[in-house]
Structure 1
Amino acid sequence: MGAASEATGAIQQAADDAADLAFDDLTSPQLTDVQRQVLEFTEAKRVNFDLDQMLAEATAQAGATDLDDTDGFTDRLRAHLAAIEADEGLRQLTRSSLRQRVVRLLRNRLSLTELLKRYPEIESIEIENPFIVVGMPRSGTTHLVNLIAADPRGRALPYWESQEPIPARGEGPDINGVDPRYTRTKREHEALMASAPVVAAMHDRFPEAIEEEVELLDLDMASYVLEWHARVPDWRDYYMNLDQTRHYAYLKKVLQALTFLRGPRTWILKSPQHCEQLPALTATFPDATVAFTHRDPVAVIQSAITMMAYSDRLRRNSIDPDWLLDYWTDRVHRLLSACVRDRELVPAERSIDISFHHLNGNEMPLLEELYRRGEVELTPKVRRRFERYLASNPRGKHGRIRYELQRHFGVTADELRNRFGFYFDRFDVRPE
């Protein structure tokens, strides 16, 4: 047995030995002392979403004033804020984090507009032959994109950079060479781990982890991200009616700016949102090589609603498991229906379908085929990097969640699965 295989076995055994994470209080949470203290502090004052005030804060942070409102950005911003205000169940803690997020997005948009004015050649930069991972959460997308990102020839988006993609004018690394954007994200991650440590087992967004580019799309107020933070069916409907070809073109502009700031030009991207935006994705990145990941929708839904219910103990005044089940079953149905409808838009010679049950332990042959279709050489050096990543990141590294659909949400896996026959008919997906 080689060193890499031995390391893989040791780490996997540690993961297997970790206790399953079960929730006895998922829908009737028992808060920790830390969680109660956080809520007592944050609930004392109502958070205000005054647009003029938020714009003033973003302007002061960016040192710039031009939002580039040539395509109705302010209208989308107002719709975004109205959807948040319509959710009456949010705690002030959540309202505060969403307000901070909006100010951050505005600051980054202002900084991007200013950067493009100073360096107009940015928009001439080619985004060359990206690898794009398309699939639902919990279908292997995070594992796959982080694995491909181990290839140093590509450019991926770490979480810290997704939160603040464009540095504010005049802001640079500290005396130790550490980017202040990284420092801020690390501090926020540490605070999250202190208040909700189970998050790591669900989806650990540590600063260096590769993140989804939908955060960049939201500089244009054009992604589905808000649906993961609040109950915003109005925003879902508004988002679904947007001309995403325009907004994916804006995403490309952000990627060009990031390439200008820190190359290279070959991007490694991923997002579940792409499932329902394949026309815009293919129009924007016609030379992309796409890896579609597929998994039993029950695994996706039970993971999503369990994570949402757990998070809602701090985010909301109450937990509504029926609402979570209904909304996210419908949302996953919409995403997968669009993927089935539009899959053929991506040429077979530039794409690959990967079933979850074939992914773990079979990564290297799949990567070889992906690279072959992308016409990219898989060198011995890159292969060794992939093997080291696999050895260090076995499935279940942070522990595993024990899902109990019937107990917590009143539905069986078979009842849930029956809605997705169209997906099982189209792709190689096994019931779990």
Structure 2
Amino acid sequence: MDRVEQLLGQARDATGLNNFGEDSFREGLERLVASADAEADFNPAGKMGFDMQIVGLLCNRLRIEDWYSRHPEIDEQEIVAPLIGLGLPRTGSTALSCLLAEDPAIRYLRNWESNEPCPPPELATQHDDPRIARAEEMMRRRDEHFPRMKAMLPSTATGPMECQNLMGFDFKSQIFQAFGNIPGYVHWLNHEADLVSTYRYVKRVLKLLQWRCPPTNWRLKNPSHSLFIDALDAVFPDARFWMTHRDIGSVIPSVADLYFELRRNGCDNVDLHAIGAEVTDFCELGMRRMIAFRDAGNEARFFDIHFAPFQQDPFPAMAALYEFLGEEFTVETRERMQDWRRENARDKFTIERTPPETFGIDFAQLAQRFAFYNQRFGIAAAR
């Protein structure tokens, strides 16, 4: 039995279920496993973590399909005009999504339900669901294994989560490359894979999550959507977007350091220059695709937010965003956002950053390479 079949079998055994749904996930799974086995150079802990991640995603997919088979009416749910955050990572998008999550009139993807979407959450029990405690324990273990993550990517069990896990159910997601050097899979994902099936599955999960737990006014976020914007648009043609911006000389080192933190426990010999090149490549590709999409008649669907003024005072931008959406920015929502901001000060955690040159980053070359982006959005270099 080959590796993929072993992983599929482990998921079947763990759940007692057999139906994975449509086969769209299989090519990504096969390419991912082949790339990881041949290229990732995982140590024993890394190999174990990789297999656990794959089996966990497969188990969730089996459970999702089981709920749909028993309740086909779930598919009648509609996802209407979601607001989706995208752009470069490490540009303040996490803080912005957390502020948006404070609006009681909207629905966002919560960390705990991203980890375990089944059984679908219910309105009456959503705040004391046992999965919240399990997510909190998972985050505690994460902080033990990745001690700098608390400062790099602060999050809570009930806070907003990117769509990465949902994309992972179709095995076309950036989530995998964060934990290991898998260039074969990354090239396929960025240049050859068709992600329409992936976003259809994202929509399938969102329908499940809102079925018994409204509201249905979704606020989503994932910087890597920029790479696959045409496929995203094919599945969510009525979506509107917010896009955060920051000097690329601050973005690339921060993303590279995040990848380093996530990889070093599972690999004894992390290639830092490879991380720097990989991050730079996908950031450039994503921005070129994003600008092309905007220039192809979609500019009116975007709301832009710049990092520095947003960090200093986010509320002018939030008020303008609500005006862009044609929605009321209520006093209650503003006060809840203010409370969140006070409780989550930027300097709450401090860490030692890895020097940018360690990743082979040359700021002059970055400025030249991303001049198209800086000029398009009026971004001044911070260096």
TM-score by length of 2: 0.91
Distance 1:409 1:217, change over 3 A: closer
Helix, strand or coil at the partner of 1:225: coil
Distance 1:346 1:291, change over 3 A: farther
Distance 1:298 1:58, change over 3 A: same
CA distance in 2 between counterparts of 1:179 and 1:206 reads: 15
5+ residue gaps, structure 2: none
Q: Which residue of 1 aligns with 2:157?
A: 207
* Equivalent of residue 230 in structure 1, options 165, 172, 180: 180
CA distance in 2 between counterparts of 1:158 and 1:364 reads: 23
Distance 1:403 1:357, change over 3 A: farther
**How far does residue 345 in structure 1 lie from its aligned partner after superposition?**
5.1
Is the 8 Å Cα contact of residues 167 and 181 (structure 1) preserved in structure 2?
no
Is the 8 Å Cα contact of residues 257 and 353 (structure 2) preserved in structure 1?
no
Distance 1:203 1:105, change over 3 A: same
Q: Which residue of 2 aligns with 1:428?
A: 378
String of CA shifts for 1:397-425, please: whole Å, max 9, x gaps: 2225545223x235442233221111111
Helix, strand or coil at the partner of 1:190: helix
**How far does residue 178 in structure 1 lie from its aligned partner after superposition?**
4.5
CA distance in 1 between counterparts of 2:131 and 2:55 reads: 15
1:112 and 2:64 matched: yes
Moved more, 350-359 or 279-288: 279-288
* Equivalent of residue 364 in structure 2, options 414, 417, 427: 414
CA distance in 2 between counterparts of 1:361 and 1:422 reads: 26
Helix, strand or coil at the partner of 2:380: coil
1:239 and 2:192 matched: no
Is the 8 Å Cα contact of residues 297 and 332 (structure 1) preserved in structure 2?
no
Helix, strand or coil at the partner of 1:167: coil
Helix, strand or coil at the partner of 1:368: helix
**How far does residue 82 in structure 1 lie from its aligned partner after superposition?**
0.8
String of CA shifts for 1:323-373, please: whole Å, max 9, x gaps: 222222222221222122212357444321111122113321211221122
Helix, strand or coil at the partner of 1:360: helix
Is the 8 Å Cα contact of residues 132 and 289 (structure 1) preserved in structure 2?
yes
Helix, strand or coil at the partner of 1:216: helix
Alignment of 1:53-72 (within 5 A): 53-69=6-22, 71-72=23-24
Is the 8 Å Cα contact of residues 40 and 180 (structure 2) preserved in structure 1?
no
Q: Which residue of 2 aligns with 1:372?
A: 323
CA distance in 2 between counterparts of 1:310 and 1:388 reads: 30
1:52 and 2:2 matched: no
Alignment of 1:82-93 (within 5 A): 82-93=34-45
**How far does residue 52 in structure 1 lie from its aligned partner after superposition?**
3.1
Distance 1:346 1:161, change over 3 A: farther
1:291 and 2:242 matched: yes
Larger Rg: 1
Helix, strand or coil at the partner of 1:228: coil
Helix, strand or coil at the partner of 2:108: coil
Is the 8 Å Cα contact of residues 139 and 356 (structure 1) preserved in structure 2?
yes
Q: Which amino acid aligns with 1:144?
A: L
**How far does residue 56 in structure 1 lie from its aligned partner after superposition?**
2.8
CA distance in 1 between counterparts of 2:289 and 2:144 reads: 38
CA distance in 2 between counterparts of 1:197 and 1:73 reads: 33
Distance 1:400 1:195, change over 3 A: closer
1:398 and 2:340 matched: no
Helix, strand or coil at the partner of 1:305: helix
String of CA shifts for 1:123-159, please: whole Å, max 9, x gaps: 1211133221112221011011111011011111122
Helix, strand or coil at the partner of 1:269: strand
String of CA shifts for 1:12-47, please: whole Å, max 9, x gaps: xxxxxxxxxxxxxxxxxxxxxxxxxxxxxxxxxxxx
* Equivalent of residue 138 in structure 1, options 90, 93, 103: 90
Q: Which residue of 1 aligns with 2:332?
A: 381
Q: Which amino acid aligns with 1:419?
A: R
Is the 8 Å Cα contact of residues 133 and 271 (structure 1) preserved in structure 2?
yes
Q: Which amino acid aligns with 1:383?
A: R
String of CA shifts for 1:359-393, please: whole Å, max 9, x gaps: 11332121122112212121222121122222222
Q: Which residue of 2 aligns with 1:8?
A: none
Q: Which amino acid aligns with 1:391?
A: R
CA distance in 1 between counterparts of 2:35 and 2:337 reads: 42
* Equivalent of residue 26 in structure 2, options 70, 74, 82: 74
CA distance in 2 between counterparts of 1:396 and 1:335 reads: 30
CA distance in 2 between counterparts of 1:327 and 1:374 reads: 35
Q: Which amino acid aligns with 2:366?
A: L
**How far does residue 161 in structure 1 lie from its aligned partner after superposition?**
1.7
1:196 and 2:146 matched: yes
Q: Which residue of 2 aligns with 1:160?
A: 112
Is the 8 Å Cα contact of residues 154 and 266 (structure 1) preserved in structure 2?
yes
Count of aligned pairs between the two proteins: 379
* Equivalent of residue 322 in structure 1, options 257, 269, 273: 273
TM-score by length of 1: 0.81
Is the 8 Å Cα contact of residues 350 and 373 (structure 1) preserved in structure 2?
no
Distance 1:188 1:275, change over 3 A: same
CA distance in 1 between counterparts of 2:141 and 2:24 reads: 36
Distance 1:401 1:369, change over 3 A: farther
Is the 8 Å Cα contact of residues 162 and 215 (structure 1) preserved in structure 2?
yes
